[in-house]
Amino acid sequence: MAEILNVKNLSVRIGGQTSLTAVDDVSFSIRSGECFALVGESGCGKSLTALSLMRLLPDGLYIDRGEVRLNGTDLLELTEREMQAVRGDRIAMIFQEPATSLNPVMTVGEQIVEAVRLHERVSKEEARQRALQWLARVGLDEPQKRFDAFAHELSGGQKQRVMIAMALACRPDVVVADEPTTALDVTRQAQILDLLKELQKEHGIALLLITHDLALVRQYADRVALMYAGQIVEQSKVSDFFENPSHPYACLLLSAVPSADKSAQTLTGIAGSVPELSAMPSGCRFAPRCPAAKEACLQKCPAMRPTVPGRLVRCFYPDSPVTSSTTHLQKTMRSEETVLKLTDVSVTYGSRGGLFSRQKAFEAVSHATLSLARGKTLALVGESGSGKTTLGKAALGLLENATVSGSVEIAGEVAFDARGRFKRHLRSCAQIVFQDPFASLDPRMSVGELVSDGIMALCPGLSKADARRKVSELLDSVGLPSAAADRLAHEFSGGQRQRIAIARALAVEPQIVVCDEPTSALDVSVQAQILNLLREIQAEQGVSYLFITHNFAVVEFMAHEVAVMQHGRIVESGTAAEVLTHPQHAYTQTLLAAVPRL
């Protein structure tokens, strides 16, 4: 296979009074029809590397040195006008955040048509037909309806599929996919990645896949590069990387992946955190967290060097044994007491209708019944749009402009009064951790104010001094320093923001926490820390979790029971062992068949 993209010694710096290196000496190449995966923790430089290839770095960052050759042409030497002709036509990108990448004042169809006509001499009708074909090919139902929709009218998964259709519409040589399936459930994820693999074979597309899902890398990628603190630390064939990792960081990362056989113990986390750009170690950047580090590792940064054919490792002592301790836990509930009971719950949304149309009703959840015991985790799984989040919010009285029928009981008490309003005093019994911690945290409030807000509202008799003391204890319990109370949410990483959200939910000592995709945006090592934290809190306090997720590895690790939703209905439920190993419903069998495995 011919080499299409070659990146050599790429370095990206942040300008200002003190210039800092964010991406340091990154080199790799991708051949025609190959899938090359770039993996690593949040903040390691994966997305900056991708943006550098497209020459789309934000203000304040610049490419210090290196080469990015596309079919022999160095993209870094092109003028901006020449580069505009390359973007979208020869090299395209699927961005991680489709909501911020789509134009809110244009229909999604118009945006795809614009991209096609910008690079090809075709009529507006031809571009429209191609757009419709691609919307259908990426799995969007009713392509014509989606073509005329605005971005805000689509779900997160639908917006992501529109982004993929837009990127592929001009049949580029290289596609840079930055977390292309983060917002998708397992069946849509498999559909999109199978489509990308099919197109690779048909058109010889080179795919750069940026992801934190190691199971996807194992199933779809040909080669992999692992990044840490701005540097690539290991590069090899996928089979070699998973069967025999060389770098200590790779070994620890693989051991942090949740699975059913680890459900009786804590996941192997990685001590410490990624170093700040302003405090980068003088030696090996992973040395402060490496259990196999020696004196030489602290003095000098190792260079990338081959160990076996096809493998490069940035380590003085590759293949060193790495040991880590795990704590065994009993995955049992404290009692059979039911703390949350939903009986025949339905959620209906009504549209006003127009001048010549009747009011229409849409049933998002239909006659759902489930129960959650104290100290137990119930996983609610299903495709995007199946009603999982709607059901979780309905249980807590968080839905607006919707009619909720049926019965909801929290701690043995009916949650809604005669007029259908959620009883305020039950707020301290049930809390929620939202999928996107950044969007759910007020950017104007300090972390201390965010965490104490619920305490002051639901525990009015508590003094401010006691509230501050409790905030400090809560931050400590989720692994954050007490000094974090004086900082704002944007100053923290994604994993740290999720810890803040968990601390806020636990502040009023709830019996139930609804966790809505709490780890979907987190890399493997941070996900391990969050899952361990939730398990520890459950073991200590007997908290019950309604865990909404499409990550079946997390379900296997966390759940005692599983309920499967399809089109607003619960189609199967039972113990985790029963549902995951002997699924009875055809839909459950389809979901499990689509799950990528290590």
Whole-structure pTM value: 0.77
Position 357 scores a pLDDT of 56
What strands, in cross-sheet order, belong to the sheet with 305-306? 91-94, 174-178, 206-210, 35-40, 223-228, 231-237, 312-313, 305-306
Position 319 scores a pLDDT of 87
Measure the CA–CA gap between 353 and 577, rounded to whole angstroms.
Answer: 46
Beta strands of 182-324 (E only): which ranges?
A: 206-210, 223-228, 231-237, 305-306, 312-313
Task: Decide: residue 6, CB within 10 A, 0-12 exposed, 13-18 middle, 19+ buried.
Answer: middle
Q: How far apart are the first and last CA of the chain?
A: 27
φ, ψ of residue 312 to 5 degrees: the values are -120, 135
Tokens for 258? 């949740």
| 8 A C-beta contact, residue 211 and residue 178 | no
| 8 A C-beta contact, residue 238 and residue 224 | yes
Measure the CA–CA gap between 404 and 398, rounded to whole angstroms.
Answer: 11
Total length of the chain? 598
Nearest CA among 427, 329, 340 for reference residue 377: 340
Measure the CA–CA gap between 275 and 217, rounded to whole angstroms.
Answer: 25
Classify 473 as helix, strand or coil.
Answer: helix
Position 97 scores a pLDDT of 75
Torsion angle of the four alpha carbons 259, 264, 266, 267, in this order, in degrees rounded to the nearest 10? -10
Position 91 scores a pLDDT of 96
Task: Look at strands 35-40 and 206-210 and give their pairing.
Answer: parallel
| 8 A C-beta contact, residue 271 and residue 288 | no
Residue 446 per-residue DSSP state: B
| 8 A C-beta contact, residue 235 and residue 250 | no
| 8 A C-beta contact, residue 406 and residue 567 | no
Nearest CA among 438, 345, 441 for reference residue 388: 345
Torsion angle of the four alpha carbons 524, 526, 531, 534, in this order, in degrees rounded to the nearest 10? -170
Nearest CA among 158, 253, 252, 248 for reference residue 215: 253
Measure the CA–CA gap between 4 and 75, rounded to whole angstroms.
Answer: 12
Tokens for 512? 């139930």
Angle (CA) 350 441 458, round 5°: 80
Nearest CA among 155, 157, 156, 158 for reference residue 143: 158
Nearest CA among 502, 494, 473 for reference residue 485: 473
Give the amino acid at 495: G
> What pairs with residue 563 in β-bridges?
380, 573
Position 286 scores a pLDDT of 94
Measure the CA–CA gap between 64 and 86, rounded to whole angstroms.
Answer: 21
What strands, in cross-sheet order, belong to the sheet with 569-575? 430-433, 512-516, 544-548, 377-381, 561-566, 569-575
Please give the chain's pLDDT, 598 residues, in tens: 689 999 999 999 987 666 789 999 999 999 999 999 999 887 788 989 999 999 999 888 999 999 999 999 999 999 999 999 999 999 999 987 777 789 999 999 999 999 999 999 999 999 999 999 999 988 888 999 999 999 888 877 788 889 889 998 988 999 999 888 776 778 878 888 888 888 788 888 999 999 888 888 999 999 999 999 999 999 999 999 999 999 999 999 888 888 777 766 677 777 777 788 888 998 999 999 998 899 999 999 999 999 888 899 999 999 888 765 455 444 444 456 899 999 999 999 875 555 555 566 789 999 999 999 999 999 999 987 889 999 999 999 999 888 999 999 999 999 998 888 899 889 889 999 988 777 889 999 999 999 998 888 887 777 888 888 999 988 887 878 888 899 998 888 777 888 899 899 989 889 999 999 888 767 787 788 888 888 988 988 899 999 999 888 899 999 999 999 999 999 999 999 999 999 999 999 999 998 887 7
Look at the block and give the residue holding tokens 């596309």: 70
Position 199 scores a pLDDT of 79
| 8 A C-beta contact, residue 24 and residue 70 | no
Classify 386 as helix, strand or coil.
Answer: coil
Position 283 scores a pLDDT of 93
Alpha-carbon separation of residue 129 from 116, 121, 143, 151, 497 (angstroms): 11, 14, 10, 20, 43
Task: Look at strands 312-313 and 174-178 and give their pairing.
Answer: unpaired
Give the amino acid at 228: Y
Look at the block and give the residue holding tokens 């939903």: 342
Task: Look at strands 61-70 and 3-14 and give their pairing.
Answer: antiparallel
Give the amino acid at 421: R
Measure the CA–CA gap between 26 and 268, rounded to whole angstroms.
Answer: 28
Position 351 scores a pLDDT of 59
Position 139 scores a pLDDT of 82
Task: Look at strands 561-566 and 377-381 and give their pairing.
Answer: parallel
Measure the CA–CA gap between 94 and 167, rounded to whole angstroms.
Answer: 6
Nearest CA among 231, 196, 179, 175 for reference residue 47: 179
Measure the CA–CA gap between 247 and 480, rounded to whole angstroms.
Answer: 28
